[in-house]
Amino acid sequence: MNLLAGEDMKLTIGTVLTLEKDYTEDSEKFKSRVVDIDGDHFMMDYPINIASGKTAFFIDGTQLLVTFVDDYKISYAFRTEVHSRLNKTIPMLKVKYPGDQNLIKIQRREFVRVEASLDVAVQADTESLQLVSADLSAGGLAVNMKSHEFFSAQEELNLMIVLHFSKQEIKYVSCKATVVRNWEQDNRRLSSLKFEEIDEKDRQHIIRYCFERQLELRNS
């Protein structure tokens, strides 16, 4: 085992990983642990489904969203895929590590906010608007009201948000939201909306979009 390979990495042997299958409708989460590091790959033991406690079997090519906490209690996330399965002293999966430079530092991942211009259909009691977002998180978003009248604070709205992913994938998120505040900035009239009723799978789509958007902004 190449035990020294991870010394200069934020990911180290023994690191506990939280895994989610990427590009799927599943919202299941899994736990695993890094058991070896070899160059730009690491090996982890077979994941355990957090909800059921059962061992999960990922096929080669399974795309994953991985989060972990380093020795300084800082949380990070990255995307990768299963390279292959190995059976040494224990059964394990070989996974590519994208490098520290491609990690996203996170606080509470579900509320990471990113700048994003997305089509948002807004339905209120008296009117229906087609707006564009200014930013997005899994907790809510801000929309550019343009010349439209502001909605009242705490007013409940129905939203349809169009998420465009890098692999030409589109997801439509339907949810309820309430108006948190209205304000003006840089000649824009903005409203902050907080999600009140949203399906967990839709929230996972937003989390994945925000993560992908962070990588896009970092590499631009």
Q: Which residues contact 51 (CB under 8 A, 6 or more apart)?
A: 28, 29
Q: What is the C-alpha separation between 65 and 139, in angstroms, rounded?
A: 19
Looking up tokens 């939203």 gives 159
Percent of the chain with pLDDT over 70: 90
Mean pLDDT over 47-70 rounds to 91
Higher pLDDT, 128 or 39: 128
Looking up tokens 């994945």 gives 208
Mean pLDDT over 171-186 rounds to 94
104 contacts 211 by C-beta, under 8 angstroms: yes
Q: Which residue type does 175 have?
A: C
Say what the pLDDT of residue 5 is.
38
Beta-carbon-side half-sphere exposure of residue 174 (alpha carbons within 13 Å): 1
- pLDDT band at 23, cuts 50/70/90? low
Choice among 2-16, 71-85, 203-217 with the minimum mean pLDDT: 2-16
Cα four-point dihedral sign 107, 50, 103, 74: positive
Residue 62, helix vs strand vs coil? coil
Mean pLDDT over 52-64 rounds to 92
User: What is the DSSP code (8-state) at residue 150?
Assistant: P
Does residue 50 carry a pLDDT above 50?
yes
Say what the pLDDT of residue 107 is.
60
89 backbone dihedrals φ, ψ, rounded to 5°: -70, -30
Say what the pLDDT of residue 111 is.
63
The mean pLDDT of the chain is 87
Q: Where are the domains of the chain?
A: 16-106, 111-219
Mean pLDDT over 40-45 rounds to 94
16-106: CATH homologous superfamily? Electron Transport, Fmn-binding Protein; Chain A (2.30.110.10)
- Tell me the pLDDT tens digit for each residue of 137-156: 989 999 999 999 999 999 99
Does residue 209 carry a pLDDT above 70?
yes
Q: What is the C-alpha separation between 28 and 56, in angstroms, rounded?
A: 11
In whole angstroms, what separates CA 78 from the centre of its chain? 9
Say what the pLDDT of residue 112 is.
77
- pLDDT band at 39, cuts 50/70/90? confident
Choice among 96-105, 117-126, 150-159 with the minimum mean pLDDT: 96-105
Say what the pLDDT of residue 133 is.
97
Say what the pLDDT of residue 77 is.
86
- Tell me the pLDDT tens digit for each residue of 100-117: 888 887 765 456 789 999
Class of domain 111-219: mainly beta
Does residue 7 carry a pLDDT above 70?
no
